Structure formats: C-alpha cells, structure tokens
Amino acid sequence: MAASVTRARTTARLALQPVRWSSSRSIFRGSKANKMGLSLELDALLRNSHDMRVFGLGFLVELSSRAAYARCVAQRLAYYGAMERRFDGCSTGAISKVWPLFARDLRRHDRLARDLDAVSDVAPSGELSPATRAYVRSIEGASPDALLGHFYTRYFADLFGGSMLGTPTELALGLPHKCAAYTFEPHVLRARGDVVERAYEAINECGDAISPQVRREIVDEARAAFAHNARMITERGGLAIGVGAARGVANLVGGYARKRLAPAVLGEIAGRIATRRMS
C-alpha cells in the first residue's frame, strides 16, 4: 500500500521538473492582513494541519480517468451546494458579514453543475461516499459563526491553487470543454491579490468583533473541514490511491505531450502538486 503511494510520488517527481508558482506565493507572502488577527490563526492551522501531499495525490487520482474526475466533481457539487445554501440562508453570525461581500465572485455550485453535466455519460449514479456525507453533515450542523471556517478552507484554496488546475485537468483527460469550477471571471483573475487581501481583511474584522471562544470555534471548524477533505481522499485506500495517482501522472504527461507544450509548463503544475506549500 505505502509502496504504491511512494511510486506515484516518485513518478511525478522524476517525470516533471518543479518550478515556482510565483503569483500565488507572492500574493500569500505579500499580504498584510494575513500577518495578524484571525487570518493569522487560520493560516497557522493551514500550515500545521493541512497535508498537501494527500491533496496532491487526490488531484492526480482525479486525473486517472473521466469517471474518476466525474466522481470528484459530484463530491464537490454536494458539499459546495450544502455550504453555499447555508451561507445564503444566514442573516446572523460571522458568515453573514463576509459571504455577501464575495458571493457573486466566488460561488462555485453552478459552475460545478455545468462541469458534471459535461461528463454526464460517466457521472456516478449511486450515493455519495461516507466521507462526503460526513462532510455535508458537518456543514449543515455548523453555527453561522463556525461557517466562516468552511469559507476559509474552500475559497482560499480556490483562489490560491484551484484556479491553476483547470488546464492540466483538461489536457490530462482530453476534455473538450473548460472546467468551469476551476475558473473565475476575468475581473477576479486580474485582481486576485486584491480579492485575497479583502477576504483576509473581512475575516479579521469578524475576528476582532467576536469573543475568543467564538474565534476558537471558527478555527476548530476549519480544522474539521480540512480533516473531512482529507478523508474523502484517503477513504479510497492506499493501493487505489497509488494506482490512480500513477495513472493520473501518465495522463498528465501524455496530455501535455499531445499538445507539445514546454516541459517547464508541465513541471510547474506537477511540481507544485507534489510539494505544494505556501510558505
């Protein structure tokens, strides 16, 4: 089991030369708002509790086949749908102060629905996995304050890294369409650093207005959200992850080779997937 996972990681590293994703890194390091307040606490949680190797392998598994991609999109549709319905319905608590500022630009559910419809021929028809159901229940049961932890875990990931995963997904799987959920409107992409900074500032404003107990509740909810996301990957089992990730690497290399794109571009993506850290 461990050997399969190790082989997948080694394959990614040997086949691809990592280079920097300077834009996201510079946005993260250049932020002033994430050096203070509740944003600082949440970023510390990200560094200490969020294993990007697991999530990198999960992304490679997603690239192993169109059916695997469709399963992942169906998972996301379920938990983003639950989350954004909760956000929309809250008129009190921390999330009611932050979500209205960013809902138009960051909302993902409708985009995920379009992505799933585009692969409807291989879309899963059964129930959601146990880990996905547990994640949805966690979102549905969170308080309006604690929901801010879910906002942090999902949309900062989308802004920092998710927006860069569309092209490798399309090339690896030979998709004839753009992955809508991995894109933002042009005005968001042009001002991505400003959007990130405003989101950090909004989180800090909420953090300054609440009690230490509520701040802990938000951080604990974010920690739980990271754990739920990891379990949606690891519930497949180590052997399945290792085999799937190796297939994903092969598809990724093949997709870029078919387009005859520069190896440095491919290395930029896979190197970051394999070793991604913001700091």
d(CA 207, CA 42): 11
pLDDT tens by residue, 219-264? 999 999 999 999 999 998 988 899 999 999 999 999 988 876 555 5
Q: Which residues contact 201 (CB under 8 A, 6 or more apart)?
A: 33
276: left (phi over 0), alpha (psi -120 to 50) or beta: beta
pLDDT tens by residue, 98-140? 999 999 999 999 999 999 999 999 998 888 999 999 999 999 9
Q: What angle do CA 178, 154, 136 make, to 5 degrees?
A: 100
Q: Which residues contact 187 (CB under 8 A, 6 or more apart)?
A: 105
Does the pLDDT at position 19 exceed 70?
A: no
Task: Tell the residue number behind the tokens 């604690």, with chain if given.
Answer: 146
- Band (pLDDT 50/70/90 cuts) for residue 265 is low
Does the pLDDT at position 148 exceed 60?
A: yes
Count of alpha carbons within 13 Å of 70, Cβ hemisphere only?
A: 15
**Contact 199/219 with Cβ under 8 angstroms?**
no
Q: Where are the beta strands (DSSP E) in 144-198?
A: none
The mean pLDDT of the chain is 87
- Band (pLDDT 50/70/90 cuts) for residue 11 is very low
Please give the model's pTM, rounded to 2 decimal places: 0.85
Q: Which CATH class is domain 24-240?
A: mainly alpha
**Contact 130/143 with Cβ under 8 angstroms?**
no
Listed by start position, the domains of the chain span 24-240
**CA-wise closest residue to 9 among 49, 51, 50, 56:** 56
pLDDT for the residue 161? 78
